Structure 1
Amino acid sequence: MAQKTFAFFPEAAYGPALNSVGIAQAVQALGHRAVFLSDPGFVAVYEGYGFEAHPVALSEPMPPEQMAKFWEDFINGHIPNFRKSPYEQIDTYVKDCWTAIVESAKWAQKDLPGVLSRVKPDVIAVDNVILFPAIKQYGVPWVRIISCSENEIEDEDIPPHLSGCGEKDYACHRAFRERFNEVIKPIHDDFNAFLEQNGEAPYPLGQFFETSPYLNLLLYPEPVKFTRRHPLDPARFQYLEGCVRKEAPYEVPTFARNNDGPLIYVSFGSLGAGDTELLKRIIAAIGKSRFRALVNIGDYASAYSDLPDNVHVSNWFPQPSVIPQVDAVIHHGGNNSFTECLYFGKPAIIMPYVWDGHDNATRVQETGHGFKMPRYDWTETELLAKLEACLADKAMAARLAATSRHMQAQNGPTKAAKLLEGLLA
């Protein structure tokens, strides 16, 4: 096939961004041109991987450094709400987040037509939770990537997105859906008015995006997927089994203490490092243990001093190169961390704070691939016992090994690239 242009438009967070990088790398390997439509604050991220990136305004103009930190500052402002249940977060974090997301769609609509006319994509892949009318209306196949939990595609028999409910806890499903729709209605009405202004039909209450008539790619692995009342049609919905990007090799440093102890990786993602008090508690607990730890502290190095000799911190780790070398992971439930642990067969302790972290924490435990832990309500003894359980549970180890073999046999990025290319066959 002659070279075609594939445009990727992930939301402004490292999880979706780096998943799309993995697919874009595979698209390039097939001989095509991969470009990014990007929040201005993320242009440098894609350029750092060698991709062409075109800024799309998703908010009112502001300095690039402020733009890059918009969602980080948004998350940090909600740290007190991380102590609340998913149901309680509907009135706080979830409401504020959807308000900001709807505003981002309105801003994007001003920029997208001009950007698309310059880029001239043959296929557009969007990893977001909201519709951008200009992309649907551009006239080429558009693809929806679901890099969050697969329950972003709703079904009556599975937990509602963001709820953290168990798969069979239908009372929890019902209560969350009712409260979500009640709180979200004014925001949803505003979004529907925006859709109608741009020639699109309004969505049912609670829905902000639709599935693509061309192709929908779910990063969720099949070994943990939900049992749906209405199974997804494989002609339009494909599970990618994760989309692990290629990163530079990582060499584990020498530790002054416990250098032969089990190695733990701790990361709350690009947006969660601001919860420094929690990370300090985890570091203190590991400091008294037989373990070693690599801890992602983001841009908050000044908050840390007198670190234990068995803990190494950094503002960033090439995660796909780190996780294969560790024995267990403590993370926030973001879908990158969730799927990468499964891909490499590593047990995880998930301490969720917002969004689909709640869903992934519940799912990792109910499928036997790790443990869900409360974010703050734990003792050092309890945390270390959970880490020991990660290493000692033979049934969990066997399940993780089987899931890892299944996922690695699929090669998600290459599968995605071939499916995208197939839209133009």
Structure 2
Amino acid sequence: MAMTMTQKILAHAAGLDSVVPGQLILANLTGVLGNDITTPVAIAEFEKAGFEKVFDPDKINVVLDHFVPNKDIKAAKQSAACRSFCHKHEIPHFYDVGKMGIEHALLPEQGRVTAGDCLIGADSHTCTYGALGAFSTGVGSTDMAAGMATGKAWFKVPSAIRVKLKGKLPEYVSGKDVILSLIGQIGVDGALYKSLEFTGEGVDSLSMDDRLCICNMAIEAGAKNGIFPVDEKTLAFLKDHGAEEPVIFEADPDAEYEQTIVMNLDELVPVVAWPHLPENTKPASESEDVVIDQVVIGSCTNGRMEDMDAAYEVLHGNKVADGVRCIIIPATMDIYKQCIANGYLMAFIEAGAVVSTPTCGPCLGGYMGILAPNERCVSTTNRNFVGRMGDVTSEVYLASPYTAAASALTGRISDPRRVKAEQKAEEADHE
């Protein structure tokens, strides 16, 4: 029977010749992931169930990233529980202060995921790893506990939506604009429990950072997972990061999809998702009356090196607008170090921004950027629900790093194309 790429990975993980949408399967896992919020709950369930050991210490990943460095006593206790469990079970892939990062940027960077993997994580944005040709999805802490103990998880095989990409992204338009535009088109439940499978000639023009960003937000359309085909860029990325040997699966030519959506990348523009859903997208150029108080550039969605490059391109030599707090968070220690080597940190600070060690902090309203009543923030994070980043009357506008950085300079939502054009014109006048 013809299968999609996701269905083939799941069939392989379950030891079956084929699977069909809706079928319940028990799959063997190549990896299990948890963070400082979800792992302590999983540990409690693990011990409550009477499990005494994990199925394979090398296949478990625990990353302290949400409230780390610890913001209060409760956060410290959560981290301590993770440290104790990982020490007891001799889990080598435990990432603490000094070597940690935001989990969904860190695992690909550390070579912890490869093409063909079947991975679960107790975090909804675990779907990020589809960019590497893996099946990955978020689960609850109870499923994480069972996965750590047995190395298995139950899945209902998803049907699929094919997103056929054409063309090439214009300047100052990024993967964030692709996924926000798609969610704006199909809605936050438009791919509910389906696989979003990206195909077409346009895939080749997208960087790995673009693909990781796009798959990261597949869950914001309700998708079970997002996934890209494995190409030369994927293989080069996996090799460069020391990942295990890939197992490459391709969709059958006659695989069935519930629908096919065609996106012409050439026609995309910088967009912003208005409160309080990621589907409320508008062009940045039509949002420029919105005055803001804060900008956040970082997160598991947009804290990678290309995102830092984009922020630097817009901010260096310029000043953040008075009254705007600009917070920049490199997603991993390696990205942080590269920013130092490139001179980015000095440029960000001289522009009037602050730079943090890797943390999820402000994305979930944890710390490092909480909003007061009625404040507005342009953020490169992935959710803009009511009260997501602070007070229930505050507002979060989702955007790309280009748009966020441009908005930091003007004090209002701004189209980065216009801001960069004005910068170039001013530079020409000074020559």
- TM-score calculated relative to the size of structure 1: 0.34
TM-score when scaled to structure 2? Answer: 0.34
Bigger helix share: 1
